[in-house]
Structure 1
Amino acid sequence: MRGYGAALAAVLAASMALAGCNMGHGPAAVDAQRLTEADKDPGNWMSHGRTYSEQRFSPLDKVNASNVKDLGLAWSYELSTNRGVETTPIVVDGVMYVTSSWSLVYALDAKTGKELWKYDPKVPREVGHNACCDVVNRGVAVWKGRVYVATLDGRLVALDAKTGQPAWSVVTVDQTKPYTITMAPRIIKGKVMVGNSGSEYGVRGYVSAYDADDGKLIWRFYTVPGDPKKPFENKAMEAAAKTWSGDWWTMGGGGSPWDSMSYDPETNLLFFGTGNGLPWDEKARSPKGGDNLYLASIIAVDADTGEYRWHVQTTPGDSWDFDSTQTLTLADLTIDGQPRKVVMQASKNGFFYVIDRASGKLISAKNYVPTTWASGVDLATGKPIEIGDDHYKAAPTVMLPSSFGGHNWHPMAFSPKTGLVYIPAQEVPGAFGTDDKFAYRPGEWNTATNTDLNTLPADPKARAAMRNSLKGYLLAWDPVKQKEAWRVAHVGPWNGGTLATGGGLVFQGTADGHFNAYDAANGNPLWSADTYTATLAGPMTYTVDGEQYVAVGAGFGSIFYLAAGFAVPKVGTPENGKILVYKLGGAAKLQKPDLERIEMPKPPAMTASAQVVTQGHSLFNRNCLVCHGYNAISGGVIPDLRYSPLIANAADFKDVVLGGSRKSNGMVSFAKQLSEADAEAVRAYVISEANAGYAEAHQGGK
């Protein structure tokens, strides 16, 4: 009987967790009133940015500047995947919902971390080829007993919040085209809002609204115009087409709205940002120039109908991959003595925008990081004042920011208590130049830029100096004064999202494996915990039974670790990601992984000619760089080819690269892009880089 009683107790405990600590609610019992009045329910975190304003501010103050030193690990949960972790946990009535790479969804007891259910949408691994920036997912939305996830292969799935079983599933994209989705959906008045990714690969971006009950499409807003010979979907597309030239629609146009959204119940406006054009270089997509609306723009539409209301284009005719998809935060500010309702963004292009959210009027814009491509923003036109070479027409241009941006996807936070915005800022220079040999390749990485310009120097000291020049810091920004309040320097760039709290704290993870708390007023460091892996996701906080918890997703991955592996140390095979949850007095232990450096094996001797290696270098940059890294130096998320035994055997290498033998791991065949001679040239180039790396690691015979 004891065994039966223990089993019954366990079943009852799980059922109570799924029913929520508030016994008046069922699982994920979130409706329009709860979301609109989220500030009255600070113990829950019911949407991606906690409230529709996406401030990522929690009024909770039981963990505060005076006692945060006592924060300890309450529990951790190991995810099922070892790629990037970008999820922001959703917590409703004692249950946490998170995602991991490949769009897996998990329901956990928010007090103990016990798994309640797990859902795997079984995304075909070859779809990973279409994901520019890792196979990540940023989280779910919840609504009236269901959990909604957008999958990497373009589906929107509604799950029963109690069981994790699908209630319905719809395909939101043309799956014959290289669309992907990594963003967290948002739900407004029974409509699920979702965008998509794929601007480099050959798609036309759009935002869709689906009925949360049955998945029926309600409205769709395209972000760039289609074929002008066909009827335009609306007047906004007709107006946009006048700002393009050439045959842009044959390549899709780009403009994918792949991340941030926010909503203003007062005006019923949905705000979202759009991505870059296809390709990056405007000369290749719109030969006569033009603003190319609505690329790199902040757009407001009616949430009920999707009808266009206004836009601010942060980078007209964008040629630098300056997406405007970063966090869109709503706030009420006093500017020049007048109350203003604004939407704010620390844009990828390096400028901080403050916009009247009802009218779309640009109030102010100031660079928050060094911007060598523009001296400022003309408030009358809203256009940046560009300096130097016009869209790198004359010569290669080295500039700040680069395509990595002054601020990327990592969410920023705003505290109404301090009036400051907390930005994961960075300085990563990049070189831009035209690829004179560019030819559009559907389904492949299309930038029309000369990727050879960003080749790393051969000299180890010069390479180290380049690595050391990369900066990352937590920046506290006053949006009224458009002025820095304080900053905290990090070891390098690509650090985590931020959370501000009523306890006077700012939380942020770092790329070098820490989770930190700072004084929100002055940036003084107050607490730090080792996470032993890059901690990039947006943190959040919640309460269960009156106790405050702080949670963050931790896991090695994302675009910087794909394309810029030279900037991070090689510490072995990435482990599965984790959800880490802290509370005052927490005594759980996080096991330190074995981070012993893997020694590079002695590579094959170089037998190819210098001409073949040079050819292989260009082919590698065109086809392989975005995943396997500059100079074949991977960050460890995708295999570092310099370490691979495949490079010693031409047949084995060809079997993977051309034969697609590792398609199930996401490595699709490149037989359409590369000939056998091309593949052999790529192998020769990787061998040359392996020999250079081995020589550097064994200087002096060590």
Structure 2
Amino acid sequence: MNSYHDGFHWGRALSAALIASMAWSATAADVDAEAMRASQKDGSEWLSYGRTWAEQRFSPLTQINDKSVADLGLAWFIDLDNTRGLEATPLYSDGVLYTSLSWSRVMAVDASSGEILWSFDPKVNKAKGRHACCDAVNRGVALWKGKVYVGTLDGRLIALDAKTGKQVWSQQTTDNSLPYTITAAPRVVKGMVMIGNGGAEFGVRGYFSAYDAETGKMHWRFYTVPADPAKPVEHPELAEAAKTWSKDTDWSLGGGGTAWDAMAYDPELDLLYVGTGNGSPWNREIRSPGGGDNLFLSSILAIRPDTGRLVWHYQVNPGDTWDFTATQQITLADIDIDGKQRQVLMQAPKNGFFYVLDRATGELISAEKFGKVTWAERIDLATGRPVEVAGARYEKEPILMWPSPFGAHNWHPMSFNPQTGLVYIPYQEVPGTYSNEGKGYAPRKAFNTGSGSSEITELPREYATGALIAWDPVKQKAAWRVEHPNHWNGGTLTTAGNLVFQGTAAGQFVAYTADAGEPLWTFDGQTGIIAGPMTYRHKGEQYVALMAGWGGSAALFGGDAAVATGSRNVSRMLVFKLGAENRLPTLAEPPETERVPEPVVASKEHLENGKNLYSQYCAVCHGAGGIGGGVIADLRHSSAEVRTAWEAIVLHGAYQSKGMAGFSDSLNQEQAQQILDYIRHREYATWMEAMDAGNKD
């Protein structure tokens, strides 16, 4: 059945939800600890973000395999009323898929037909988009005992009835007067919903919390960085952490360390593993003058889930000053190292090193570069600390280095196949420059990191590439590698059918052999694919499901490198099975801009001010260098109506309902005009470049 929902709208879906639920006789999701343990061997269901608590994203299903995958086809799809990035991994239980869209919306879908059973809109105030560093995305939901849990962009944790989609309870997990956000999928452990938050680019203090899955009551909260020493210490770990911060620390800056994605759980050791993020601001010279490791920034924490107390920690980047987070996926596995089976934790964080730790003790077993890394020579196995190259901290002069803040690996899920012993990493090779020069720090007002990190548009687009790397965690080297012309490619799924699936920034969804990386099957998704795929078995048939929709930080901020992908946002849910023959409709070409721009008459200082203000307040959504990346409007091509209403939009929030908050608390009329003139200048400059290129052909 072709489930093509032309122009699906949430209002109509909500009004039809009661009818759908009456016709739906399938049992609602009833996920508990027993079901989670059973799912480790039975691949029929996908019950948590990484399928199991170990976050391996490996499925034991084999109906779709390296011999049969050539017959894989589109079973059904849903066109979604969604204009921002799709990062969620759908969950599957008892015949139903549960997934989230941008702005923290949730829907339940019949897994065989694609019919929407219910939808839920938490009605996030779109002005909150101003505080989202990396798009108004959501990476998924959690299931537990008949409920669906979602974290919202405005900091709420909401429990829904899995059968009807009606709200059961809601808790505000953050101070909504501060620029916190939630984009991660919650995890449920021992009847508690675990959730962190983001916002370290805007000046917040990181933490994660445990809430009762039945009632919503908070059990405990773990702060990842200390606060003002004049105030009471919330838990004992912070007293030790405070010793690693400068006595001159300005605690009003928040500190950062937000736990915005990675979590895993080992039920045998009864340890919850949480990855923490960058400092607030990035630049340690501003955050903690005089130095210090700044615990627990950029760290992996092992926590007792019953109490929230710390058992061990490993800091990936002591004194981080580059936005090298440890929030990338944490994967648990048992592997043979030197003839001995080890219980390990694996991570490929932003900094470009692949880490293997003993997950019981936190001991560093090995760490090697999995991509191009120039900020450090190696990781000293005796101390666990990186051996940094001279000048890496850019104290005296700017530095161009690999990786950039985009990371060698970002949030895009990696997967581990216990049969091949390989980890499949969505790698990206993008350099960045860091500098102490010319950048003030304005916490909570705008995306300002205090680092002076350059716009990616200042580098040739060919500098931003990617790859799918099959990494051997025992030998600490690549077994095979597939090159991609662009960065910001999708997450991976691996199966017992000797397959690895990955979508690309250019819109291709590809199946490779897991042992050798041979491409076997490709599907044109018509939009950049960034999310991780999943697979499930329903009524004897194996399916592969994927949320497709270009977005996220690189798509918004990436400028010319994002344009190079050729992608735009066409949001869909795509589901495949063997023998299916559905097709996506042909996309209409986007309208071309016919306006001939005029040169801007303004002083160099005026345009430079406009550039700096644009970089600080606008680029995070509208693209570095004024170049839109195919998701949010490219302001170079904004209409005459937009430019006439510029002040009302930029200062007073006339487009707040579209996600464009007003900036009257930060900008004045003159500054708004400087930004507009810079955009007009960029429009003219790029038009002239295109004309010159045309004349040369």
Q: Please name the residue that 1:184 is paired with.
A: 185
Q: Distance in 1 between matches of 2:60 and 2:288?
A: 48
The 4+ residue runs of structure 1 with deviation greater than 6 A are: 10-13, 570-573
Q: Please name the residue that 1:222 is paired with.
A: 223
Contact 1:374–1:387 (Cα < 8 Å) also in 2: yes
Q: Please name the residue that 2:55 is paired with.
A: 54
Alignment CA distance shift 1:437-1:109 (3 Å): closer
1:550 to 544, 547, 555: 544
The CA deviation at 1:330 is 0.1
Alignment CA distance shift 1:696-1:19 (3 Å): same
Alignment CA distance shift 1:646-1:228 (3 Å): farther
Q: Please name the residue that 2:319 is paired with.
A: 317
1:479 to 470, 473, 476: 473
Q: Please name the residue that 1:398 is paired with.
A: 400
Superposition pairs of residues 316-335 of structure 1, within 5 angstroms: 316-335=318-337
Matched, 1:536 2:530: yes
**Aligned-pair RMSD on alpha carbons?**
2.0
Q: Please name the residue that 2:3 is paired with.
A: none
The CA deviation at 1:652 is 2.3
The CA deviation at 1:605 is 3.3
Matched, 1:519 2:513: yes
Matched, 1:90 2:83: no
The CA deviation at 1:455 is 6.6
Alignment CA distance shift 1:648-1:637 (3 Å): closer
The CA deviation at 1:264 is 0.1
Moved more, 397-406 or 597-606: 597-606
Q: Distance in 1 between matches of 2:284 and 2:364?
A: 25
Q: Please name the residue that 2:411 is paired with.
A: 409
Alignment CA distance shift 1:682-1:524 (3 Å): same
Superposition pairs of residues 280-319 of structure 1, within 5 angstroms: 280-319=282-321
The CA deviation at 1:497 is 0.3
Q: Please name the residue that 1:460 is paired with.
A: none
Contact 1:103–1:120 (Cα < 8 Å) also in 2: yes
Residues 351-406 of structure 1: per-residue CA shift (max 9 Å, x gap) = 00000000011110001011100011011211111002041001000000000000
Alignment CA distance shift 1:570-1:427 (3 Å): closer
2:251 to 249, 252, 255: 249
The CA deviation at 1:569 is 3.2
Superposition pairs of residues 642-657 of structure 1, within 5 angstroms: 642-646=636-640, 649=643, 652-657=645-650
Q: Distance in 2 between matches of 1:18 and 1:276?
A: 45
Q: Which residue type is aligned with residue 694 of structure 1?
A: W
Contact 2:544–2:576 (Cα < 8 Å) also in 1: yes
Q: 2:674 is paired with a residue of what secondary structure?
A: helix
Moved more, 265-274 or 240-249: 240-249
Contact 1:61–1:502 (Cα < 8 Å) also in 2: yes
**TM superposition score normalised by structure 2:** 0.94
Q: 1:39 is paired with a residue of what secondary structure?
A: coil
Q: Please name the residue that 1:566 is paired with.
A: 560
The CA deviation at 1:572 is 9.5
Contact 2:441–2:449 (Cα < 8 Å) also in 1: no
Q: Which residue type is aligned with residue 286 of structure 2?
A: A
Alignment CA distance shift 1:263-1:635 (3 Å): same
Superposition pairs of residues 478-627 of structure 1, within 5 angstroms: 478-569=472-563, 574-596=568-590, 598-599=592-593, 601-627=595-621
The CA deviation at 1:596 is 4.1
Alignment CA distance shift 1:571-1:276 (3 Å): closer
Q: Please name the residue that 1:640 is paired with.
A: 634
Moved more, 494-503 or 614-623: 614-623
Contact 1:641–1:647 (Cα < 8 Å) also in 2: no
The CA deviation at 1:575 is 4.8
Alignment CA distance shift 1:437-1:405 (3 Å): closer
Contact 1:472–1:493 (Cα < 8 Å) also in 2: yes
Q: Please name the residue that 1:205 is paired with.
A: 206
The CA deviation at 1:273 is 0.5
The CA deviation at 1:597 is 6.2
The CA deviation at 1:94 is 0.7
Contact 2:530–2:549 (Cα < 8 Å) also in 1: yes
Residues 198-247 of structure 1: per-residue CA shift (max 9 Å, x gap) = 01112111110000111000011111111111221222111111111123
Q: Distance in 1 between matches of 2:526 and 2:412?
A: 19
Contact 1:195–1:258 (Cα < 8 Å) also in 2: yes
Q: Which residue type is aligned with residue 57 of structure 1?
A: F
Alignment CA distance shift 1:330-1:648 (3 Å): closer
Q: Please name the residue that 1:666 is paired with.
A: 659
Q: Distance in 2 between matches of 1:623 and 1:679?
A: 10
The CA deviation at 1:683 is 1.4
Contact 1:257–1:272 (Cα < 8 Å) also in 2: yes
Alignment CA distance shift 1:475-1:267 (3 Å): same
Alignment CA distance shift 1:70-1:390 (3 Å): closer
Residues 91-113 of structure 1: per-residue CA shift (max 9 Å, x gap) = 00110001000011000000111
Q: Which residue type is aligned with residue 675 of structure 1?
A: N
Alignment CA distance shift 1:601-1:572 (3 Å): farther
Superposition pairs of residues 4-19 of structure 1, within 5 angstroms: 18-19=24-25
The CA deviation at 1:184 is 0.2
Q: Which residue type is aligned with residue 347 of structure 1?
A: P
Q: Which residue type is aligned with residue 450 of structure 2?
A: A
Q: Distance in 2 between matches of 1:16 and 1:624?
A: 46
Contact 1:269–1:301 (Cα < 8 Å) also in 2: yes
Q: Which residue type is aligned with residue 562 of structure 2?
A: V
The CA deviation at 1:667 is 1.4
Q: Please name the residue that 1:231 is paired with.
A: 232
Q: 2:112 is paired with a residue of what secondary structure?
A: coil
Alignment CA distance shift 1:652-1:367 (3 Å): same
Q: Which residue type is aligned with residue 255 of structure 1?
A: G
Residues 256-282 of structure 1: per-residue CA shift (max 9 Å, x gap) = 000111000011100010110011110
Q: Please name the residue that 2:76 is paired with.
A: 75
Contact 1:177–1:443 (Cα < 8 Å) also in 2: no
Matched, 1:631 2:625: yes
The CA deviation at 1:141 is 0.4
Q: Distance in 2 between matches of 1:615 and 1:186?
A: 44
Q: Distance in 1 between matches of 2:17 and 2:195?
A: 36
Alignment CA distance shift 1:150-1:413 (3 Å): same
Q: Which residue type is aligned with residue 407 of structure 1?
A: H
Q: 1:392 is paired with a residue of what secondary structure?
A: coil
Q: Please name the residue that 2:117 is paired with.
A: 116
Residues 506-546 of structure 1: per-residue CA shift (max 9 Å, x gap) = 00000001100000000000000000001110100001111
Residues 20-73 of structure 1: per-residue CA shift (max 9 Å, x gap) = 3xxxxx311111111122123310001111110000000000000001000000
Q: Please name the residue that 1:675 is paired with.
A: 668
**TM superposition score normalised by structure 1:** 0.94
Q: Distance in 2 between matches of 1:485 and 1:523?
A: 9
Contact 2:20–2:118 (Cα < 8 Å) also in 1: no
Moved more, 570-579 or 339-348: 570-579
Contact 1:36–1:265 (Cα < 8 Å) also in 2: no
Q: Which residue type is aligned with residue 331 of structure 1?
A: A
Q: Which residue type is aligned with residue 89 of structure 2?
A: T
How many residues are matched?
679
Contact 2:21–2:117 (Cα < 8 Å) also in 1: no
Residues 293-328 of structure 1: per-residue CA shift (max 9 Å, x gap) = 010111110011110011111111111000111110
Alignment CA distance shift 1:597-1:316 (3 Å): farther
Moved more, 243-252 or 276-285: 243-252
